[in-house]
Structure 1
């Protein structure tokens, strides 16, 4: 289901300055969206093989860390500040749930499997729809409801959480705070250790664990700040 997109109000073609600058959550969201588009196009242009699978992995990691930051930081702000915010975020959360479920299925199937390729196609379609719903409808409304300084503060909190969020689908995790934040911290640790592990030496694994611990502490700090601001 698509929102009623309005090309005249979309943030898609606005300048960075019009979005509140590089630090604004709007500019940060749009940069991630552009990278998702690039990775999907690259995946579709590559033949079956290691590089194609690596590109899909990069996309999955970006999509899920991006969505977690939205659900932890951005959507609560939309629900507080935007008229009809509950309905808007519920629709986007539904798209995220479909992406989550399909990606979980994709991870169980072998590369080259016809069913897997069809699910990848459906996931890409949902991601593109999600981007359009956010940029054409939801984010413009948030900009109307917030000043530039607020958008920049929100962007800083969003970025901190995104950089340390889970990077793989976890169907059992609730979509809204505080449940997602509480479960997201240990899952982020697990995901990032898994992402960082290489079949080389234990030194690599140790470095990955140190980086992960630092990231998890950053998430916890960001969540504490967000909760204080919501009180």
Structure 2
């Protein structure tokens, strides 16, 4: 098995458009944001950073579950067990962050759940970079890793940005429900601090077209993953009895 993607060069990962390079960049960004959250002493700054973490983590994970993990299950030995492990981590993170969003800033229980969610996110990153993604790297050539990276990025840019713990973690359920949930989440994000209803409407209209594209990408990927059906042999007509 290849070594952890954290220690490889960009060339070894297949270039900047490879799904491995895209994953590593976002993992590093999530890590930096979590460090900034802990370092900040201002509640307003911490809340803004936390929202950035949430939006990035959940769009990232949705694209993994919709595009990346189905490919791993098809192409990688033990892919089912590996993806089940990270899906379990995603579910725990989703449950915790959903609780966080229901609690008021400054609530001691809220901060404890944030810290637990951050610890799980870091564990999830390590499992993906050390165990799962190196196996995907061994199973695919550079061209396929780049095509997968493009599909993953397309879905990520139009994915839900908040936890929805009851949504299935696997296609087709998550892909079908992801379209309306993404529109809802991203409109809510725009209507947050500094947002306006007019701006939300304009962005939502533009987002609708992108969501259709993302849904189409998911549909194509599902079709590609289905085993090819062999044509059924034609049956000979029944023999007639002699007159």
Question: Would you say the 8 A contact 2:75–2:139 is kept in 1?
Answer: yes
Residue correspondence of structure 1 range 60-209 to structure 2 within 5 A: 60-197=54-191, 201-209=196-204
Q: Is the 8 A contact 1:65 1:163 kept in 2?
A: yes
TM-score by length of 2: 0.89
Q: TM-score, normalised by structure 1?
A: 0.93
Which residue number in structure 2 is paired with residue 57 of structure 1? 51
Structure 1, unmatched stretches of 5+, are: 1-5
Matched, 1:37 2:20: no
Contact 1:106 1:120 in 2 (8 A): yes
Contact 2:190 2:196 in 1 (8 A): no
Distance 1:202 1:146 in 2: 45
Gaps of 5+ in 2: 227-243
In 1: Cα distance, 2:209 partner to 2:9 partner = 34
Question: Distance between the aligned counterparts of 2:179 and 2:22, measured in 1?
Answer: 22
Q: Deviations over 1:123-165 (max 9, x none)?
A: 1100000000000010000000111111011101000000000
Please give the per-residue CA displacement for 1:103-135, whole angstroms capped at 9, x wherever unaligned.
001011111111111111101100000000000
CA shift, 1:226, in A, is 1.2
The correspondence for 1:214, drawn from 194, 200, 209, is 209
Q: How many pairs does the alignment contain?
A: 225
Query: Which has the higher mean CA deviation after the structures are superposed, 97-106 or 215-224?
Result: 215-224
Larger Rg: 2
For 1:93 and 1:37, locate their aligned partners in 2 and report how far apart those are by CA, in whole Å.
19
